[in-house]
Structure 1
């Protein structure tokens, strides 16, 4: 059972909730398969900033409402208003880039809970997350070549890091929709589960991560990001590792192990 939405942060098209160390960001436009408008991108950026600043939130789940789609990409019905001129295109791209960057560089783990369509901007969103878990009935695709859209380097680089250059080209060149099993083979998703098991699986993953030592989890996320760079910041990595060993949580972890009880990590 999810906690109620926080109306102070979300909007009617974007919801956010938090409880038990888990923050939820929910795309709530089910009548259009959670297609995303400019207003929704702006709200998403605000929600992520709130979760990043909240020490009680240790992991974030991103998902879509309605049961038929994660996110089906941009709201094409609003292209004339939101992307009808070069100036509007640039403003839209800048806003979406900020959200993708906020997701990709978010200091805490992010899980994408995918049910149904995950198309275009939805796939780009999922790629920015750390872990992607989808249902057997989910479908993925990037139809940019069918719409004449251009994709900037950061988004393509993230996809290539995830699935490799060959699958990235297949996704873009064909613009086809791929099944959940196709996505698993590509490495686009971590797990494929039966539709009725998605909620329980996500809750288990989120609760497990939220219960682990946050300094360790967050440091590993940062070090993995550095490992993908041609010139990693080794000083940063060393500092993060030393911080874990110098933390109260390291003491608590050892003590809990010896006392045969669950650890109570505080993130310090």
Structure 2
């Protein structure tokens, strides 16, 4: 059955449907979904709850309020929690854990972006597998206006999302760019009218949830291994791929093909 829960006093919510579609929502609309330190540190728990406890097959991450994805980190905390290099290292460990929770999530993560997607909010979207936006989306990386630097892993995600030249341009200039520009750069998989965004994102999530879960997980592991060039990641991806050929779902997929029907995958 579907389920939902919340973290960080309700500012991060997680829900999953009966069909295995998970959703993580940044729930601070009155602050343009800016993330506090507690929210950053809650995100890994939200993703773990969905994948480990609830067996979600795909996860959508979005912002509450139908207006903005996220303005990034709550700058109001910086005077105390990010005031120097020592405190910044502690603070940014929470940022990096949140980015990693998305990047290394065993199932695909779709970022549904509308409105502002700035700074650390852009970092969260950049860590996702797929980014889909509506025409109101705006992107920026304002670190150089604040006089700080982003964590290395976040910059690497931005390079993957934007490409080398566009990432340099965005980081150095702090220039804001539109959803249309983001789409042209290859940062977005698709761009939709505001009224259509939820429908299109949900349709994609449903298609992923209906696919064989072990196959989808193996594909994500293989893509991540290619990105990281890590030998252990390659070995893990290879094991996941091998396991699909011994799975119940592989037998079901073959039967469904010969019987000309839609397969019913169990994830086993």
Quickly name the TM-score band, shorter chain normalised: over 0.9
The reply to whether residue 133 of structure 1 matches residue 156 of structure 2 is no
Change (3 A) 1:104 1:250: same
Following superposition of structure 1 onto structure 2, how do residues 1-268 of structure 1 map, counting pairs within 5 Å? 6-7=4-5, 9=7, 11-19=9-17, 20-54=19-53, 56-230=55-229, 232=231, 234-268=234-268
RMSD after superposition: 1.9
| TM superposition shift of 1:9 | 4.7
- Which ranges in structure 2 are unaligned for 5 or more consecutive residues? none
TM-score, normalized by length of structure 2?
Answer: 0.93
**CA displacement, residues 142-177 of structure 1 (integer Å, 9 cap, x when unaligned):** 000100111232222222223221111011011011
Task: Determine if contact 2:135/2:179 at 8 Å carries over to the other structure.
Answer: yes
| 3-state SS in 1 of match to 2:117 | strand
TM-score, normalized by length of structure 1?
Answer: 0.93
Distance in 1 (CA, whole Å) between partners of 2:234 and 2:16 is 34
Task: Determine if contact 1:16/1:24 at 8 Å carries over to the other structure.
Answer: yes
Bigger mean CA offset, 158-167 vs 22-31: 158-167
Change (3 A) 1:213 1:7: closer
Task: Determine if contact 2:43/2:101 at 8 Å carries over to the other structure.
Answer: no
Task: Determine if contact 2:116/2:139 at 8 Å carries over to the other structure.
Answer: yes
Bigger mean CA offset, 248-257 vs 10-19: 10-19
Equivalent pairs counted in the alignment come to: 266
Task: Determine if contact 1:25/1:60 at 8 Å carries over to the other structure.
Answer: yes
Task: Determine if contact 1:11/1:43 at 8 Å carries over to the other structure.
Answer: no
| TM superposition shift of 1:8 | 5.6
Distance in 1 (CA, whole Å) between partners of 2:216 and 2:158 is 23
